[in-house]
Amino acid sequence: MKKSEFPLKHHILEGKKEVWIVCNSSITAKGIPAIMKKYYPDYTACLCSEDRLEDIKNGLF
């Protein structure tokens, strides 16, 4: 598994087994399940805006 090559801007919350992914388009959103199976099969995908991702990275969420 090559997690460092994940193709979208994201942040991983290991304790919750969540991958927060910036998604600004419905086309991208449709492909996320396939990407998650490849890179993070045991994690839950959570979609967010770039602003929310920064909050998550800073521990504000």
pLDDT digits (tens, 9 = 90+) for 15-51: 999 999 999 999 999 999 999 999 999 999 999 999 9
The answer to whether residue 4 scores a pLDDT higher than 90 is: no
Candidates 17, 27, 16; CA nearest to 8 is 27
- How would residue 3 be classed by pLDDT, with cut points 50, 70 and 90? low
Supply the pLDDT for residue 1.
44
Q: ∠ CA(20), CA(25), CA(28), 5° rounding?
A: 65
Which pair of tokens denotes residue 43? Answer: 């994690």
Supply the pLDDT for residue 35.
95
> pTM for this structure?
0.88
